[in-house]
A and B are shown apart, each in its own frame.
Chain A
Amino acid sequence: MKGILEYSQGDTVIHRLNPLTKMLIALLLCMSSFLSNNLLAAAAIIALNVIIGHLAGIGKKALSIMATLLKLGAVLFLIQVLLIRTGDKVLDLPLNLYITNTGLKFSLLLVLRLVGATMPLVIMLTVTKMSDLTNVLVQKLHIPYKYAFAFITALRFIPIFEHEMNGIIEAQTARGVEFDTKNPVKKLKLVLPLCVPLLISSVKRIEGSAISAELRGFNVRKKNSGYKKYSFSLLDYSAVLVTVLVLIFSASIV
């Protein structure tokens, strides 16, 4: 999961799609996942995500994203399955806890939906250059450049801060803070004070970044300053069409 959201270079079919198409596909897949009412359909959407990842040359990364999300999902599943009390009991547990068939199905579906809905955004952002996304938001959706740039910069800073946080954790472990403990609660307690150095270095960074952007003409940029043009090709139309079909299909099967 290292470098999540970091741009992955390539010249695949997916890379060549218009950035807006990529975002639209991600959104449609996300909706499909939430609208699916069937375990198989929800699983199929996850599979589709993995295939897209593979087509984009980041198959391995897609799988590792899936694995991480499934791990998080497992926790959610456990909580959900114990909370739902309607339906037929399938397993009795101590402490007056039990698992029902409705609970099982609902919780499983919830997890699959969440995984299926998170993956497309992560995958698409990984294969889209941030500057392309900014430009297309400005050119096609007429979002003011300032906002688009701020949004994109926030995304771009995620891996930088992740790297900084790793550095801080290393430095603290080396001086005897028990970050290498297996106990997650203890670990969380240890992480909190570290937000101070992270915050301070972040504020410094962002200030420098803002000055540097301004000195390179950020404030005098005009609406049509973008050099690259982003047209829609047959590939874009067909890709969107296919995704719309996926949406209709997953929403209609019960």
Chain B
Amino acid sequence: MIKFSNVCFAYDKANILENVSFTIEKGEFVAIVGRNGAGKTTLMKLFNGLLKPTSGNVSVSNLDTRLSKTSELARHVGFLFQNPDRQICRNTVKDEIAFGLNCVLDNKSEIEKRCRETIESFGFSGQKDPFSLSRGERQKVALASIIALSPEILVLDEPTTGLDYKECMHIMNIIKELNRSGTTVIMVCHDMELVSDFARRVIVIGDGGILADDMCKKVMLNSAVLARASLAPPQIAELAIRLGDDFGGILTIDEMTDKIESRCLQ
């Protein structure tokens, strides 16, 4: 469980986040959205103590992030960055996965076992040089080496940037599976289509605070909030808004198709 209580964060005397409070329960799938510079990345880094709150409290799995080292929090919080190349530092996929495990575990046979399991479940060939792989494959290697630590919470900072649609779907489906088996997922994302496909709860960040925190569907249909955060609603939601009240509440292609069909039958 994650709890932010009255969290403020200031950088160079300028407040980036002010009085942010929320709780994320185990097993949730939360998307954090907002324009660039709104403070999303700051918020992300507060989750694992890379940044400490200027005032207020962040507690992750009952640990106060101000009192714990980030490297210790790594057992609880897996953090996938936008750019896999900042993470990958070993010459083979297997070593890369083992590297992270070595940081948090001492038991050699356990490391070996988890390493093998991860490589198998991702279908990698362990001896490959990660730097010879495509960007999407490298992102998968980075994700695998974090999942190998079996964290309770997974924080993703725009995990699909620079990936093509196929790679993007592949990564997202792995994350969805993890979430289904109980991992809490928190994802910063620009792509509202992706957010509406995968997240169940959305937190909108803007003007130094939380503009909205609600079920995904409600936020995606709230054009006032999205406009305030300079976000465009997903295409189908926007189409529904343009078509008027009769189409209110429609977010997916299925819903839209059904609605049009029923209108035709009338």
Verify if B61 is at the interface (C-beta below 8 Å from A). Answer: no
- Report the minimum CB–CB distance from B186 to chain A (whole Å): 13
- Report the minimum CB–CB distance from A174 to chain B (whole Å): 4
* Secondary structure type dominating chain A contacts: helix
Q: How far is the CA of A201 from the CA of B90 in the complex (A)?
A: 14
Verify if A168 is at the interface (C-beta below 8 Å from B). Answer: yes
Contact B86 A171 (CB under 8 A): yes
Q: How far is the CA of A116 from the CA of B132 in the complex (A)?
A: 47
Q: How far is the CA of A197 from the CA of B81 in the complex (A)?
A: 14
- Report the minimum CB–CB distance from A195 to chain B (whole Å): 9
Given known pairs A174-B48, A175-B145, A176-B149, the reply for A193 and B89 (CB within 8 Å) is yes
Most buried by A among B79, B89, B103: B89
Contact B75 A176 (CB under 8 A): yes
Contacting residue for A174 out of B79, B83, B89, CB 8 A:
B79
Residue of B nearest to A180 (CB): B69
Q: How far is the CA of A179 from the CA of B49 in the complex (A)?
A: 13
Residue of B nearest to A178 (CB): B71
- Which residues of the other chain, A, contact B74 by a CB distance below 8 angstroms? 173-176
Contact A175 B69 (CB under 8 A): no
Contact A175 B146 (CB under 8 A): yes
Contacting residue for B100 out of A164, A168, A175, CB 8 A:
A175
Q: How far is the CA of A193 from the CA of B91 in the complex (A)?
A: 11
- Report the minimum CB–CB distance from A176 to chain B (whole Å): 3
- Which residues of the other chain, A, contact B104 by a CB distance below 8 angstroms? 176
Q: How far is the CA of A197 from the CA of B130 in the complex (A)?
A: 11
Q: How far is the CA of A173 from the CA of B90 in the complex (A)?
A: 16
Verify if A194 is at the interface (C-beta below 8 Å from B). Answer: yes
Contacting residue for A200 out of B45, B70, B131, B146, CB 8 A:
B131
Contacting residue for A173 out of B70, B75, B131, CB 8 A:
B70
Q: How far is the CA of A174 from the CA of B103 in the complex (A)?
A: 11
Contact B89 A197 (CB under 8 A): yes
Chain A window 75-111, contacts with chain B (Cβ cutoff 8 Å), 1 for yes, 0 for no: 0000000000000000000000000000000000000
Q: How many residues of B contact A (CB 8 A)?
A: 28
Contact B149 A167 (CB under 8 A): no
Chain A window 127-163, contacts with chain B (Cβ cutoff 8 Å), 1 for yes, 0 for no: 0000000000000000000000000000000000000
- Which residues of the other chain, B, contact A193 by a CB distance below 8 angstroms? 89-90
Q: How far is the CA of A196 from the CA of B87 in the complex (A)?
A: 10
Verify if B16 is at the interface (C-beta below 8 Å from A). Answer: no
Verify if B214 is at the interface (C-beta below 8 Å from A). Answer: no
- Which residues of the other chain, B, contact A241 by a CB distance below 8 angstroms? none
Q: How far is the CA of A193 from the CA of B50 in the complex (A)?
A: 21
Residue of A nearest to B45 (CB): A170
Contacting residue for B50 out of A174, A176, A201, CB 8 A:
A174
Chain B window 174-214, contacts with chain A (Cβ cutoff 8 Å), 1 for yes, 0 for no: 00000000000000000000000000000000000000000
Contact B85 A200 (CB under 8 A): yes
Residue of B nearest to A193 (CB): B89
Contact A171 B87 (CB under 8 A): yes
Chain A window 194-212, contacts with chain B (Cβ cutoff 8 Å), 1 for yes, 0 for no: 1011001100000000000
Verify if B88 is at the interface (C-beta below 8 Å from A). Answer: yes
- Which residues of the other chain, A, contact B89 by a CB distance below 8 angstroms? 168, 172, 193-194, 196-197
Contact B86 A167 (CB under 8 A): yes
Verify if A177 is at the interface (C-beta below 8 Å from B). Answer: yes
- Which residues of the other chain, A, contact B50 by a CB distance below 8 angstroms? 170, 173-174
Q: List 11 A-B contacts (CB under 8 A).
A: A168-B86, A170-B81, A172-B89, A173-B50, A173-B71, A175-B103, A175-B146, A178-B71, A178-B103, A196-B90, A201-B85
Q: A168-B87, A173-B74, A181-B69 are in contact. List 17 more A-B contacts (CB 8 A).
A: A168-B89, A170-B45, A171-B79, A172-B89, A173-B70, A173-B71, A174-B70, A174-B74, A175-B145, A175-B149, A176-B71, A179-B70, A196-B89, A196-B91, A197-B85, A200-B131, A201-B86
**Which 7 pairs between the two chains have the least Cβ-Cβ distance?**
A176-B74, A176-B103, A174-B79, A171-B86, A178-B71, A171-B87, A176-B104
